[in-house]
Chain A
Amino acid sequence: MSAQALTSPESPARSPAWRRLFSTERVLLAMVLLYPLFPVVDLIAEAGGFSLRLDQRLVTIFIYGLLVVALNVQVGYAGLLQLGIAAFFGIGAMATGVMTVEKYPFHFGFWGALLGAPLLAGLAGVLIGAPTLRLRGDYLAIVTIGFGEVLRTVLINLENITDGPRGLNPVAEAWVPMAVRELVGGGDASEATLLVMYYTTLLLLLSAVVLLRVVEKTRLGRAFVALREDELAAACMGLDPGRVKLAAFAGGAALAGLAGSLYATNLTTTADPTNYDFNNSIMVLACLILGGLGSLRGALLGAAILIGFDNVLSPLLDRGLQVLVGDATHPLARFSSWRWFVFGSALIAMMRLRPEGLFPARRVAEELHTTAEDA
């Protein structure tokens, strides 16, 4: 391997100017400041006959961004092929439900759930990971799918605990400080809640990014990458693969649990457990692969592109299709009927043309371009 490849991924000295200008953290910080402008964008969209509510949609994107970043810890950093991230997302959501709804005696409220959900999801990660992480790559993939299916079935069927397909509700809403309530004014509680949700999700996402940037540089972060590149060599250098893998798995699970907690809070329900199924896991994986495995920037951009596509572009395309076809009632005149076509083709095309994703970590890019013969 050349000396160049040994420098840390995305080392700032080598990044082009535009990359530095639009670094992940700066874009997220800009989001903090741009909030007051969103109603203007909404008004413009309204003029075009489209109800946008940019802030609501961004909250969804931030939550999924957090989930993609969580998957990035497992798949991108440590190379653990996890195809069931939605299970931990679901555990986070369900834990939030149990901790806050009327039905249970806990009533931890918003902040309590925000702390407790990741802990529980992380614990689940340890419990699932400890016996299974020694399995070879594709077996692990199958176990994670299997776990996701088991969890979904259990959540649907244990109706007296989880309220089945209806989901536990109402989940506690975000805690809104008095000052914010007065600031928004008009007695419109939902606006104030949305504002708080926006900043909470954004700041948590930002903290996760900053935290992971630090982790990338630490001993543990380098151990993740070493393990992904060559488990045998890493073990020979004195790393304990089992413990490092478990750390990555549990860490990712905890972050996914945090995302799940925010998801449930945002919806004020734990929702139908089918929201935490294999399709959702694959959607998140698709975000990560589109953006670039192992790269925080890629993870977030992947989430922005695909989830944004689902949330903003696909309703727009729906309208377009219906205008085009003229028959609004036909099921194929809805874009959602073609959605998996787009995702499927995107995955296939990415693997063929640019397997490292749009904004890859340099090291991953090099790995993916070495053929089996070189390896």
Chain B
Amino acid sequence: MFETVAQQLIIGLTNGMVFALVALGYTMVYGILEFINFAHGDVFMLSAFFALTLVGVIDVGQFHGPMLAVLLCGIVIASAGFGAVVNLSIDRLVYRPLRKSPKLAPLVSAIGVSFLLQNIGLIWGALPLAVFGGGGQPAAPKSFPQLLPSDNLLGAGSGLTLQIKDVLVIGASLAVMTALYLLVTRTKLGKAMRATAQDPQAARLMGIDTDQVVAATFLVGGGLAGFAAVIYALYINTVYYQMGYQNGLYAFTAAVVGGIGNIPGAVLGGLLLGLVRAFSDQFIGAQWQPAVLFGILIVILVFRPAGLLGSTAREKV
């Protein structure tokens, strides 16, 4: 029993890290624009496709040791950059012209962008690459090669499995989150972000270029999603064109559970959701996963709409 619980803790923490990274992108955009970027999960998905394409083109599987580590770092950085650029372009092309429209317009556009990106993912999966299974079945899940050694760090005889990838996921995510924390609390840009989230108009009066702050937010959020996508792909070893939808909704749930707009809240919510998911998969059954997670979402929204860490924000009238 102890081993089962400990194992689910490890799975929950690693899953939760991925949720948290994606949730940060939702929460930062929401904090500033008060708008749910429905397409965020699909940026995550496209970044995973991008990473898989890189893996296939470079044929990373043939490398070992330090060379593999260097290549993986390169892929992580490239995918994060890809996610950042895609997210920024979406904002520039679609959301920004709607900045002054009623709230419904950007929300519906975001749904549109989400569908567009999913379709791009579908077509991307049809590329005639070996990693995409030749591209004959674009909708089928693609397996992401097992690049990290799957030895058990606790020794082969142990009832508990802790792999290098578990440690890497948790460690790398913590590093990125720390960097984000420092960015938001210690830099001028971070201060501008916080000011804009608090009151955009006052921020503009103080000489902050809020357009640039919004762009930076999308850039950072997209980068986090791209980073999370590689982590997810290395960990789960499967990517498919609809993975952004469900993971995006879960990550959004995490953001809401933590208190939307609240950066530590997103991390807390992500970890919590990851743990709940791991335990419900183990003890209730994986087929009930959406019901459990969204059930929690509904309960939290009904009884504590501001989330666990959020303050009760009044709707701006």
Chain A contacts to B: CB under 8 angstroms: 81, 131-132, 135-139, 141-143, 145-147, 149-150, 152-154, 156-157, 232, 278, 282, 285, 289, 293, 330-332, 337-341, 343-348, 350-352, 355, 367-368, 371-373, 375
> Does B294 lie within 8 Å of A149, measured CB to CB?
yes
Chain B 71-107 residues near chain A, CB threshold 8 A = 94, 97-98, 100-107
> Beyond A149-B294, A232-B317, is A331–B113 a contact (Cβ under 8 Å)?
no
A343–B94 Cα gap in the complex (Å)?
A: 15
Total interface residues in chain B, CB < 8 Å: 52
> Does A337 lie within 8 Å of B288, measured CB to CB?
no
Chain B 273-289 residues near chain A, CB threshold 8 A = 285, 287-289
Chain B contacts to A: CB under 8 angstroms: 34-36, 94, 97-98, 100-109, 111-119, 122-123, 126, 136-139, 245, 249, 252-253, 256, 285, 287-291, 294-295, 297-298, 301-302, 305, 315, 317
Q: How far is the CB of A113 from chain B (nearest CB, A)?
A: 26
> Does A150 lie within 8 Å of B290, measured CB to CB?
yes
Q: Is the interface of A mostly helix, strand, loop or mixed?
A: helix
Which residues of chain B come closer than 8 Å to A150, judged between CB atoms? 290-291, 294-295, 298
Which residues of chain B come closer than 8 Å to A289, judged between CB atoms? 108
Which residues of chain A come closer than 8 Å to B108, judged between CB atoms? 285, 289, 347, 350-351
> Does A347 lie within 8 Å of B111, measured CB to CB?
yes
> Does B253 lie within 8 Å of A139, measured CB to CB?
no
A73–B272 Cα gap in the complex (Å)?
A: 37
**Which residue in B111, B245, B298 is a CB contact (below 8 Å) of A146?**
B298
> Beyond A136-B315, A146-B294, is A368–B103 a contact (Cβ under 8 Å)?
no
Q: How far is the CB of B232 from chain A (nearest CB, A)?
A: 20
> Beyond A142-B36, A337-B138, is A152–B112 a contact (Cβ under 8 Å)?
no
**Which residue in A141, A157, A347 is a CB contact (below 8 Å) of B115?**
A347
Q: How far is the CB of B205 from chain A (nearest CB, A)?
A: 15
Which residues of chain A come closer than 8 Å to B137, judged between CB atoms? 331
Q: How far is the CB of B284 from chain A (nearest CB, A)?
A: 10
> Does A135 lie within 8 Å of B116, measured CB to CB?
no
> Does B118 lie within 8 Å of A138, measured CB to CB?
no
> Does B103 lie within 8 Å of A138, measured CB to CB?
yes
Q: Is the interface of B mostly helix, strand, loop or mixed?
A: helix
Q: What are the 8 A-B residue pairs with the smallest beta carbon separation, nearest first?
A: A347-B112, A344-B115, A344-B116, A146-B294, A153-B291, A348-B112, A340-B115, A340-B119
Between A and B, 9 residue pairs with Cβ closer than 8 Å are: A81-B104, A141-B36, A278-B245, A340-B116, A344-B111, A348-B94, A352-B97, A355-B104, A368-B102
> Does A351 lie within 8 Å of B305, measured CB to CB?
no
A142–B137 Cα gap in the complex (Å)?
A: 32
Which residues of chain A come closer than 8 Å to B94, judged between CB atoms? 348, 352
**Which residue in A152, A232, A355 is a CB contact (below 8 Å) of B101?**
A355
Which residues of chain B come closer than 8 Å to A368, judged between CB atoms? 101-102, 104-105
A341–B115 Cα gap in the complex (Å)?
A: 7
> Does B114 lie within 8 Å of A355, measured CB to CB?
no
**Which residue in A132, A232, A293, A371 is a CB contact (below 8 Å) of B100?**
A371
Which residues of chain B come closer than 8 Å to A350, judged between CB atoms? 108
> Does A348 lie within 8 Å of B113, measured CB to CB?
yes
Which residues of chain A come closer than 8 Å to B111, judged between CB atoms? 282, 285, 344, 347
A141–B108 Cα gap in the complex (Å)?
A: 11
Q: How far is the CB of B258 from chain A (nearest CB, A)?
A: 14
Q: A343-B115, A355-B102 are in contact. List 17 more A-B contacts (CB 8 A).
A: A136-B315, A138-B103, A143-B302, A149-B290, A152-B290, A153-B287, A157-B285, A157-B291, A285-B108, A338-B119, A339-B119, A340-B122, A348-B112, A352-B94, A352-B98, A372-B100, A372-B101
Q: Nearest chain-B residue to A368 (Cβ)?
A: B102
Q: Nearest chain-A residue to B30 (Cβ)?
A: A138
Q: Nearest chain-A residue to B99 (Cβ)?
A: A372
> Beyond A147-B298, A150-B298, is A141–B119 a contact (Cβ under 8 Å)?
no
A150–B103 Cα gap in the complex (Å)?
A: 26
**Which residue in A153, A344, A346, A371 is a CB contact (below 8 Å) of B113?**
A344
Q: Nearest chain-B residue to A350 (Cβ)?
A: B108
Q: How far is the CB of B3 from chain A (nearest CB, A)?
A: 28
Which residues of chain A come closer than 8 Å to B245, judged between CB atoms? 278
